[in-house]
Structure 1
Amino acid sequence: MHTAILFTWTDYKTIFIPITAFACAIGPLRSVANLLQACIWIWIHLLLCNVSNQARSKEEDAVNHPWRPIPAGRITESQGYILRWAIAAVCVLWSAGYGGGQVLTSLCLLIITFVYDESGASKHVIGKNVCNIGGYVTFEIGATKIIATQHSLDAVAIASIIISGAVIFTTIQAQDFPDVAGDAASGRMTFPIYAPELSRITTLVALLSWSVFLCWYWTLGPISSLVLISLGVYTGARYYLCRQVTEDKKSYLVFSLWLTLTHVLPLRVRTGFFSA
């Protein structure tokens, strides 16, 4: 269990928490039992993605995350490959309890993960972002269906997922700034490596633009709008002005907070929250 937690540790703040919050807002949440089931579904699929990715990134992790199971020697790369397929089977079987649609969601995530890790998509700027969109959207669809106990999504949920995918595509480079050294060592071409200055300007502009757009789209109240825009400006400014690795790690934490907040904005439509 300790090894499994180490595999998923860095993605709780950027995947597990935002996706869970998104599903609760979009569903909306029906019961604590539904929340627990959704959390389990998200976690085992997150474990699948991370084991698959880390089995291919030993060199990068040795620089950026030496405490992860493979560079730390808790598990070998070959054992990681075996574990990946074992977890894939668990994910599909777990989803089968929710119907064929949920199984399809698991299979889609499995395909996206395979393409990301095995076809070299993770080493290309565009391919990496496209797979990230696919992964996030798949997580959101699967978790929301469990939270809402429904086999289909309504117009609000569909719009929210589309917007979320666009936000991820234009801002996901935020996670790459602290890992430039390890990514370069493994031959991975991320946006911050490809265009160091442009990537920081783009992040600043994207965070500000999305904050303003989301305030308008979800018709947030003045106080809620001020909070979101202020957080977006602060996060973007940090990425542009504070460029040390330690500062980028702190900026990533702030970005995760901003991302989580954007994921729960549909509560404005569902419940009237954020109207102040």
Structure 2
Amino acid sequence: MPLVRTMPLPRRFIPFPSTVKSRNISPLSTPSPSGSRCLPIMSAIFRPLASAAYTVFLFNQHDIISTLGPAIVVGCVLSGIPDLGSLLSAIIWHELHLLPFQIKNQIYGVEEDRVSKPSRPLPQGRLTVQSAQRLYLGLTALAILSSASLGLLMPGILHIATSLAYNEGGLAKFWALKSFMGSIGYMCYCWGMTVIFDNHRPLSRTSLIAVVLSGLIFTTTGHAQDFRDRDGDRLMGRKTLAIVLPQRFGRWSLTALILAWTVGLTYLWDPPIVVSVSFIALAAYTTANFVRDHSQEADRVSYWWYNIWLVFAHVLPLFRRL
């Protein structure tokens, strides 16, 4: 039988790895049609939300240190450090009352803001006066509901009534009442923060004294904010102590009031010597800024330091001796 030689089957040619560019195809690198469609949808949702949040921030960006900060400090000092839920609840309650006031105030002062605060939403054209008015009404309704749900109807209604008198009632134009009206709002913020932080218990005797003192401090020294806005106030025909009083007298009288409060609060709350010296030094530096440079640019810096002094003043009840 003849011998048949079988030919081996040809082996599959496997090229040397270095001679061929390997392509790593990953599912992640393949664009998903559904993912591509989601991006415009997400952008359409989040971009307006981000813009709205920034607009809200612009309405009260100058009040974070001057109003929200001291109110939180008072609540923490008088009631202890709150849990996260209470902190968020208090901040929301605070903003639901502060924002309507600021919106209405800026509706009436839009021409003034074009001169002194052009970064605010209305001068920028981020929303119309009509839209701001609707936002004001909606937030006011939410503020009432929030106060009712948290057992804070008294400070909530008092704040809204004071805001109406200040803005719609035109009391902001009277220099003798401007700081007093502002101090009522200030006390309401501290009142609400303290109650929420203290698990909705009524104000204690020490807390009541601290909140009332907070209002008195702002009544007598709150016109520190007016020195930085003199041009805008003149444009609106608004009379403030910073305009009515001669510059030197107005600034030196403010200095005397701040220093008097510094000494009085130090005696009342009896903090440690290091805290007392620091508080007095801060008061001296703050008042020196007011009397040294009378320009509005410098007054903005001086007002910032005034707010730091104000926050410090609200910390002192921590060393309560009553």
| Shorter-chain TM-score range | over 0.9
| DSSP-derived class of the 1:86 partner | helix
Q: Distance in 1 between matches of 2:297 and 2:97?
A: 29
TM-score (structure 2 length as normaliser): 0.81
User: Is the Cα contact below 8 Å between 2:103 and 2:136 reproduced in 1?
Assistant: yes
Q: 2:191 aligns with which of 120, 141, 146?
A: 141
Between the aligned partners of 1:203 and 1:86, the Cα distance in structure 2 is: 38
Q: What residue is the counterpart of 1:89 in the other structure?
A: 141
- Are the counterparts in 2 of residues 121 and 127 from structure 1 also a CA contact under 8 Å? yes
Structure 1 segments (4+ residues) deviating >4 Å: none
**Aligned-partner Cα distance in 1 for 2:177–2:170:** 8
In the alignment, which of 221, 230, 251 is matched to residue 171 of structure 1? 221
Match of 2:251 among 188, 200, 219: 200
RMSD (Å) for aligned C-alpha atoms:
1.3
SS at the partner of 1:209?
helix
Out of 63, 86, 103, the position equivalent to 2:115 is: 63
SS at match of 1:243: coil
In structure 2, what residue type is equivalent to 1:237?
A
Structure 1, gaps ≥5 residues long: 271-276
Distance 2:283 2:251 in 1: 14
Query: What is the one-letter code of the residue matched to 1:10?
Result: H
The Cα of 1:23 is off from its aligned counterpart by 1.0
Offset at residue 150 of structure 1 (A): 2.6
Q: Give the TM-score normalised by the residue count of structure 1.
A: 0.94
Equivalent residue, structure 2, for 1:38 = 90
Query: Is this contact kept in 2: 1:29–1:148, CA < 8 A?
Result: no
> Unaligned 5+ residue runs, structure 2?
1-52
Is the 1:7–1:51 Cα contact (8 Å) retained in structure 2? yes
- Deviation (angstroms), 1:93: 1.3
Are 1:6 and 2:58 matched, yes or no?
A: yes
1:82 CA drift (Å): 2.1
Counterpart of 1:21 (choices 56, 65, 73) is 73
Q: Which residue of 1 aligns with 2:301?
A: 250
The alpha-carbon deviation at position 172 of structure 1 amounts to 0.6
Q: 2:179 aligned to 98, 114, 129, which one? A: 129
50-59 vs 31-40, greater mean Cα deviation? 31-40
Question: What residue number does 1:221 align with?
Answer: 272
Could you say which structure has the greater relative contact order, defined with CA pairs below 8 angstroms and 6 or more residues apart?
1
3-state DSSP of counterpart to 1:24: helix
Is the counterpart of residue 156 in structure 1 residue 206 in structure 2? yes
What is the total number of aligned residue pairs between the two structures?
Answer: 268
- Alignment-mate amino acid for residue 252 of structure 1: Y
- Counterpart of 1:176 in 2: which secondary structure? helix
